[in-house]
Amino acid sequence: MRRYLRIIGTFIAAEAKNEMAYRANLALGVVEMVLVIGTSLGAVLVLFTHTTSLNGWTLAQMIALTGVYYLIQGGVALIFNPSFEKLMEHVRMGTLDFTLLKPANAQVLLSTRHFALIRVADLVMGFGVVIVGLYMLSASVTAWSLVSFALTLACGVMLVYALLLSLVTLSFWFVRIDNIMAIFWAFTDAGRFPIDLYPGWLRFTLATVVPIGIAVTVPAEAISGRMSYETFIGMLVGTVLAVAAASWFWRIGLRNYTGASA
Amino acid sequence: MSDRVVEVSGLRKIYKVHERQSGLGATVRSLVKRTFKEVQAVAGIDFAIEQGEVVGFLGPNGAGKTTTLKMLSGLLYPTSGTATVLGYTPWDRRDEYLRRMTLLMGNRTQLVWDIPAADSFLVLKEIFQIDDKSYQRRFDDLVELLELGPLIHKPVRQLSLGERMKVEFAAGLLHAPEVVFLDEPTLGLDVSMQVRIRGFVRELNKRTGATVLLTSHYMDDIVALCKRVIVIHHGRLLYDGGLADLAERMAPYKLVAATLRDGAADADLSKYGEIVSRDAGRVTLRVPRAQAADQTARIVGDLGPDLADLTLEDPAIEEVIDRVFSGDHPFGTPEREPVAAR
Amino acid sequence: MTLARIYRALLLAGFQQAAQYRIQSLLWMLFAIIRPVIFLAAWIAVAVAQGGDIGGFKVGDFAAYYVCMTFVSQLTMAWNSHEFEWEVNQGRLSAKLLRPLHPLHYSVVENLVFKLNTLPVLGVVLILVSISFGAIYRTQVWHIIAFIPSVILAAALLFMFNWVIATLAFWATRMRTANTLFQRTLFIFAGQIAPIGLMPGWLQAVSYALPFWYMMGAPTEILRGGVTQEQVAQILIGQSVWLAITFVAFQWIWRRGVRAYSAVGA
C-alpha cells in the first residue's frame, strides 16, 4: 500500500513540474473555472428570481447542489480523466503492454498516472460554492448531514469512476469509443439540476447508466438534510456493487486483450 | 541574357526565441520574467536564378534553407532585404503570383483526408480557374508521370506515405506553376520512392521548363537533380555554383585505394600520401590531385606483385559537404565574407 | 461567376466528406438537444410551482421556446474558434494561404454542409419533443416570413463573431480560455438559460445591447411567434448593425493576424 502511495507521490511531483512550466495554463485554467461556475450559478439565480423553490429545492440547497456538481466533475477530472484518455490511446495504439509489464496493479497505475493539477482548482472552487450554500443553510446543518455528505460524495466520485472504467473497458473491443464517450458527456450536463426535475426516462438514465445524476443529487440531498436513510443505504450499496462490477468487467477486458496479443 | 526568375538581395530573417531552462527554480523564475534571445535564421544572402534551372539548397538542419524557401514562396516575410520571384514580391501573396507558383513540403498534407484525391483535384481546378481541356491534359500527364493510377480514387487517408506524397505533388502541380519550391521532398520515403520522386522532378523540369528550387539534406537528391548548388550554413550563403566545381575546389584530392596481398599487408604506404583508413589489407590514401597520377604509378612500380588491386576515386560528395559545414574549407566562415563561385 | 463554381466544387467535396462522419454529426445533434431539455425541465418546475404561468409564459410556451431555440441554435452554430488553432499548428493554414482563395470560404462551406446534413433528422426529433411536451406556438405567417432573413443574419453574425475569436489563435497559445469565455457569454446572453423576457431587468437591457441575443434568442422568439411586428423590425435592424460591426472587426483582425503569422512562418 505504501508503495502505491509513493508511486502516486512521484506522479504528482512530475506533473506539478510539468504544469508549472506552462504558466499561462494555470492562471487561465482558474479563470475558466470561475467563469463556468459563476455563469452556472447565474443561471440558477435567474431561475430563482421567479420562484422560491425548484421542485422543493430552495435557493440555498440549489447552490449547494451546484457546488457538488462541480466538486464531482473536478474530482473525477482531477484524478481519472487524463489517465483514462491516455489508457484509451494506449489500447488503440497497442502500447498498453508496456504498462501491463510494470509490476504494480495495472488498474491503479493506469487510473492515476496523469493528475491534472489544474483540477485541484476546480475542487477548491466546488468546495467554495458548497460552503456558500452551507452558510445559507446554516440553520439546518448537523453532524449527520456533514458525515453523510462526505460519504455520499465519495460514493458519487466512485460511481463516476465505475462508469468511466466500464466505458474504457469497452475500448478493448471497440477500440474507438469516442462516440460512446461523447454521448455520456452530453448527459453529464444534466447533473446541474436535481434529477427529480426530469422526465422519467431521463431520470432513469441519470440514476443508472450515466449515474452523474445520482452522484450529484444524493450528496446534495445529504448536505441539505433532505436525504432519507433508504437513499443513503442504497447509495452505499449501489456504489460498492457498481465498482465491483466495473472492476470485474475490466479484468475480463484485460484478459481478453492480453490473450489476443499473445 | 535569359530571364531571371528569382532575385534575392540581402535577405535576412531574425527570430526572437523565448529561452527556457530546466529545473524547478528556473521554471518559477520564468513565471515572472521571460528572457528572449535573437536567432539569425538567414543572415543576409544574395543570389539569382534563371528560368528553367533546378537549384538545390544544401545545408544541415537549421541552416536556414527552409526559412529561405518560405520567404520566397511568400509564407514568411523577411526582417530586411528584398526578393522577387517572377517579378512579384512573394510575401504580398497576390493571387496572380499564387497562380504561377507552388510550394510542396515533404510530409505535409494539404489534401482533404477523407475523400479521394481526384475529388480534391476538382476543387483545386476551380480555385485556380483551370479550363476543362487544360485540366484534363495535365491530369492525364500527372497520373502517367507519377504512376498514380488507382491511387487517386482512394481516400487519401488510406494511402501510404509514399503514395500520399505523390498525390500531394500532383495536387500542387495541377495549375502548371512556373516556379516550383520543394522542401525536403523525399523526407521519410523509402529508397525506391526517393528515386521515383527524383525522376519525376527531373522529368517535370524537362517537359515544362519550370524553375525548381529544392531544399534537402539528402545528398542523393541534390546529386541526382541539381547542377547548381547553393550551400547555406548558419544562415549564410557559403557557396553558389556547380556541384562538380564544389567538389573540386573543396576537395582538391583523390582517394587511392590499394589492396595488398597477404604477405605485404603491413607495408607502409605513408610516403605516397595521407593514410585515411587501413582495413584488412586495404589501404586508402588521400593524394593531392596534381600528384595522383604520379603517386599511383609509383605505388604500382614499388609494390609490384604485392599489389592485388588499385582504385582511383573522387572523394565522396558527402565528405566534401561535411568539410564545408565543419568549417574546414577556403570559402570563409560565418564570421568572414562568403565567396560565391560561378 | 468563378466564386459560384468554386462553391459548387467545395460543396460537392464537402458532402462527400460529411458522408464519412454521419454518426459524429448525429451525436452533435444529441448534444444540441440535451441542454435545452434540461433547462426546459427546470422552467417547467418553476412554472408549476408558480401556478402554471410566469410572466406570460405557460408550460406550453416554454416548450415552444426551447424547441425553437434548439432548431435555431443548430441553424446558426459555428465552431471555427475550436478548430482554427489546430489548423494553424498543423500547417494546413499555410497551404490555404498559398492558394488564391480566402480561407474563410472553406469554412463557410463546411458550416453549410454540416447543417444541411443534420437539420432533417433534428427536425423530426424536435417535432416529437414538441408533441410530448405540449408546445404552444403563437406563430403567424408573417412571423415565418420575417424568420428567414433573421435566421440568416443571425447565422452570419455568429459565424463572423466565431471567426473573430478564432483569429485570436494567431497570438494566443491557449485558445481554450477564449473559447470558454465566448461559450459562457453565449450561455448567459444568447437566450439559452431563459427567454429574454424573463431575465431580470438589468440583464435584459444588457442582452439587448450586446450581439449575442441576436445570434440565437431573437430569431427564436420570431419563430415562436413571441414578438410584435415592431419588435421584429427592431431585431432585424439590430442584427444588421451587429453584423456590419463584426464584419469590419474581422477584416481588421484577420489582416493583422495573418501578418503576425507571416512574421513567424509555419
Tens of pLDDT, residues A85-128? 777 777 766 666 655 545 445 555 554 544 455 677 778 888 88
Answer yes or no: do A21 and B20 touch at CB < 8 A: yes
Averaged pLDDT, C116-136: 92
Interface test with C, best of B67, B68, B71, B75 (most C CBs within 10 A): B75
Tell if the CB–CB gap between A199 and C41 is shorter than 8 Å. Answer: yes
Which pLDDT tens digit goes with each residue over A225-256?
A: 888 888 899 999 999 999 999 999 988 888 87
Interface of B with A in 21-50 (CB under 8 A): 24, 27-28, 30-31
Residues of C in contact with B77 (CB under 8 A): 262-263
* Contact residues on chain B for C17, CB-CB shorter than 8 A: 112, 114-115
Domain ranges (residues) in chain C: 2-264
A51/C50 Cβ within 8 A: yes
Nearest chain B residue (CA) to A22: B31
CA of B338 vs chain C CAs: smallest distance (Å) = 26
Is the pLDDT at B266 greater than 80, yes or no?
no
Chains that touch C (3 or more CB pairs under 8 A): A, B
Task: Please answer whether residues C218 and C195 qualify as being in contact, where contact means their C-beta atoms are separated by less than 8 angstroms.
Answer: no
Domain boundaries, position A54: 2-261
Touching chains, B (3+ CB pairs < 8 A):
A, C
Contact C224, C64 (CB under 8 A): yes
Nearest to C41 among A29, A35, A198 (CB): A198
> H/E/C letters for each residue in chain C?
CHHHHHHHHHHHHHHHHHHCCHHHHHHHHHHHHHHHHHHHHHHHHHHHHCCCEECCEEHHHHHHHHHHHHHHHHHHCCCHHHHHHHHHHHCHHHHHHCCCCCCHHHHHHHHHHHHHHHHHHHHHHHHHHHHHHCCCCCCCHHHHHHHHHHHHHHHHHHHHHHHHHHHHHHCCCCHHHHHHHHHHHHHHHCCCCCCHHHCCHHHHHHHHHCCHHHHCHHHHHHHHCCCCHHHHHHHHHHHHHHHHHHHHHHHHHHHHHHHHHHHHCC
Tally of structural domains, chain A: 1
Domains in chain B, ordered, with CATH? 4-247 (3.40.50.300), 252-313 (3.30.70)
- Longest pairwise C-alpha distance within chain C: 63
Q: In the predicted model, what is the mean pLDDT of chain C?
A: 92
Q: Is C264 on the interface with B (CB under 8 A)?
A: yes
Flag whether pLDDT at A259 surpasses 70: no
In three-state secondary structure terms, B131 is coil
Predicted confidence (pLDDT) per residue in C196-244, tens digit = 999 999 999 999 999 999 999 999 999 999 999 999 999 999 999 999 9
Cell of B33: 520574467
pLDDT tens-digit map of B186-208: 887 888 888 988 999 999 999 99
According to the model, what pLDDT value does residue A182 have? 74
Q: What is the pLDDT of residue B334?
A: 46
Range of lowest pLDDT (B46-60, B110-124, B285-299): B285-299
Beta bridge partners of B50: B4
What are the pLDDT digits (tens) for A43-73? 999 999 999 888 889 999 999 999 999 988 8
Given a cut of 80, is residue C51 above it in pLDDT? yes
Question: How many residue contacts between A and C have a Cβ separation below 8 Å?
Answer: 85
Position B132, amino acid:
D
Average pLDDT, stretch C38-66?
Answer: 92
pTM of the model: 0.84
**Cβ proximity of B153 and B118 under 8 Å:** yes
Pick the more confident residue, C176 or C114: C114
User: What is residue B335's predicted lDDT score, i.e. its pLDDT?
Assistant: 43
Q: At B219, is the secondary structure helix, strand, or coil? A: helix
User: If pLDDT is split at 50, 70 and 90, which confidence band does A146 have?
Assistant: confident
Q: Mean of the pLDDT values across residues B112-138? A: 94
Tell whether the model's pLDDT for residue B214 goes beyond 90.
Answer: yes
What is the structure's pLDDT at C266? 56
Residue with cell 445559507: A136
